[in-house]
Amino acid sequence: MHAVVTRVTERIAQRSRDSRAAYLAGVDTMLARAAPQERMGCANLAHAYAALPGAEKIKLMAERAPNIAIVTAYNDMLSAHQPYHAYPDLLRDEAARCGATVQVAGGVPAMCDGVTQGTPGMELSLFSRDVIAMGTAVALAHDVFDGALLLGVCDKIVPGLLIGALHYGHLPCVFVPAGPMRSGLSNREKAKVRELHAQGLVGRAELLQAESAAYHSPGTCTFYGTANSNQMLLEAMGLVVPGAVFVHPDTPEREQLTRAALRTVLDIGRRGARFTPIGRLVDARCIVNAMVALLATGGSTNHLIHWVAVARSAGIVIDWTDFDELSSAVPLLARVYPNGEADVNQFQAAGGPLWVLRELLAAGLMHDLPSVHPGGLSAGARTAAAESGDEAVLRPVRRPFAPTGGLRLLQGNLGRAVIKVSAVPEDCLVVQAPARVFASQEELLAAFGAGGLREDMVAVLRFQGPRANGMPELHKLTPALSVLQDQGYRVALVTDGRMSGASGKVPAAIHVTPEALEGGPLARVRDGDLLRIDTHAGTLDALVDAAQWQHRVPAPPPQVPPRGFGRELFANFRRNAAGAEQGACTWL
């Protein structure tokens, strides 16, 4: 094993010793119970099985057949999840062939960030993760299941399902992907049309045509944002049938992989050959594998929040320093948009996640662990091709795109933040410029539209943290800031909010913590303050006289709490949210 990976893993394990032991004790308590058919009351069982056909009731009651829960995030709104409408029947058919039963235990909400981006609905986005986790817990609370199949792909949905499942750590669990849409208009061309529209050079009709050519059919969006980063991380954690994540919907191979997921969860069940409850599988090494996979592929910054919460659900405590130290040792092996020209279909064609895992395992940068697949991670990775199918997209460890990972930790008198550097041009990795302070993205975009931002600047967008307004993504700012950068201005963004998983070429110090609402340093910044973002040094500072900085009165937050679009219902989530580096968890 690489020395840095070993050191970080050991530090996490030591830091988490007590919380992990308490978590595993809870798993063991649940595992010590009798089977559902023996411990549940007769009325409870009758309710649970009332709607099943008679033959399946006999299987469960007389034959003690395994009963597998399906927790689904199906809806027609989210293109990546639309294919799930047919999965329950397919899984039910495969279960019958295997002498088992399945029941849809519950559905969880799955909002599309592409639909809600830049709208009030986006303020529900981050906390929908915890709603999904709670929905998963409600579904599994029926407590009559021998395992679970988790049907989810996109941004908060996979972390939410995983958090919920880890609170039922005694159950074997397998994720069931649905796959990406086929390539349409390239991501780079789409981004260019967005920038032209931001400048008023093309109209709404042309923009809609371009967007519709990019997002055109069932399946995941083809850029390497949070949704597709989710899938890479699930492969690295061994929670999916190997090679399943980037196979298109509505293909024979996709159906075979979906059926294989059902057989896999039976195989790792109590009556299977390899009993593997998820709470034991997801340990500190497994979490480190996910972190390494994220860094090696230049994945989404959102996971510096989500995977902190996932780890905590298994009694494991990680922080941004862990990510940063791993990033110093993990090379960048993938160039997928926004870190390159390729989309996820080209990524898959070049070798895909299994090829990346093979490289990382061989270099000692990833732990070879048990997984839901026989033989563990390395067995699945061995099925990958020996060489990259396209070195413009995937490169081996010995010849990486960059010697370090795509994410960095920044810290200084403005707090702690993270930045995705893998897509940022080399000459933009250090930005020093006067601050322009905004309290909303609408305010910033209005200033851009009025031509008032044609200057070197660091745009400071504050009061966007978890407690302020739910920490919405701010991807709607990307075209405007990209235009300014292309026009030759030195620009950057500093915010206590989030950017999209598709954050790209404009340097953005995000997730600044403590957030401004909690008295964080961003509340002290004034227009004209000289700010410096230095990704080489890992610093984020206001270059203001120390005494003056210390005595400044923080700017007051907006007085009107978020209202409309159901945001009132999330008041307790905002009130109880931990900071970004603590995963913005609302249940701790």
Per-residue pLDDT tens for 268-282?
A: 998 888 999 999 999
| Rounded Cα–Cα distance for residues 102 and 91 (Å) | 7
| pLDDT at 560 exceeding the cut of 80 | no
The Cβ-side half-sphere exposure at 182, using a 13 Å CA radius, reads: 4
Average pLDDT of span 342-364: 97
Q: What global pTM score does this model have?
A: 0.96
Give the separation between CA 182 and CA 184, rounded to whole angstroms.
6
Per DSSP, the chain holds a count of helices (H) and strands (E) of 25, 12
Percent of the chain with pLDDT over 90: 86
pLDDT digits (tens, 9 = 90+) for 215-256: 889 999 999 999 999 999 999 999 999 999 999 998 999 999
Whether omega for the bond prior to residue 466 falls within 30 degrees of 0, making it cis, is: no
Dist CA 151 CA 343 (whole Å):
23
Alpha carbons within 13 angstroms on the beta-carbon side of residue 507 total: 27
pLDDT of the residue at 367? 98
Check whether 159 has a pLDDT greater than 70: yes
**Over the stretch 92-106, which tens digit does the pLDDT of each residue have?**
999 999 999 999 999
Q: What pLDDT score was predicted for residue 475? A: 86
Confidence of residue 58 (pLDDT cuts 50, 70, 90): confident
Model confidence at 502, pLDDT cuts 50, 70, 90, reads: low
What's the burial of 447, exposed, middle or buried (CB within 10 Å: 0-12/13-18/19+)?
middle
Is residue 139 within 8 A of residue 216, CB to CB? The reply is no
CA triple 555-556-559, angle to 5 deg: 150
**pLDDT for 431-472, tens place per residue?**
999 999 999 999 999 999 999 899 999 999 999 999 999 999
Q: Round to whole Å and give the CA distance between 79 and 433.
A: 41
Please, how many CA atoms are within 13 Å of residue 539, restricted to the half-sphere of its CB?
A: 13
The predicted structure's pLDDT at residue 100: 95
Structure tokens at 480: 């405007």
Q: What is the mean pLDDT of residues 179-204?
A: 90
For residues 102 and 96, what is the distance between their CA atoms, to the nearest angstrom?
A: 9
> Between helices 3-15 and 17-31, what is the axis angle to 10°?
70
- Least confident range from 187-196, 458-467, 529-538: namely 187-196
Q: How confident is the model at residue 501 (pLDDT cuts 50, 70, 90)?
A: low
User: In angstroms, rounded to a whole number, what is the distance separating the alpha carbons of residues 152 and 177?
Assistant: 7
Report the C-alpha gap between 481 and 510 in whole angstroms.
15
Report d(CA 200, CA 35) in Å as an integer. 65
Q: What is the pLDDT of residues 406-432, one digit of tens each?
A: 899 999 999 999 999 888 999 999 999
The pLDDT of residue 484 is above 70: yes
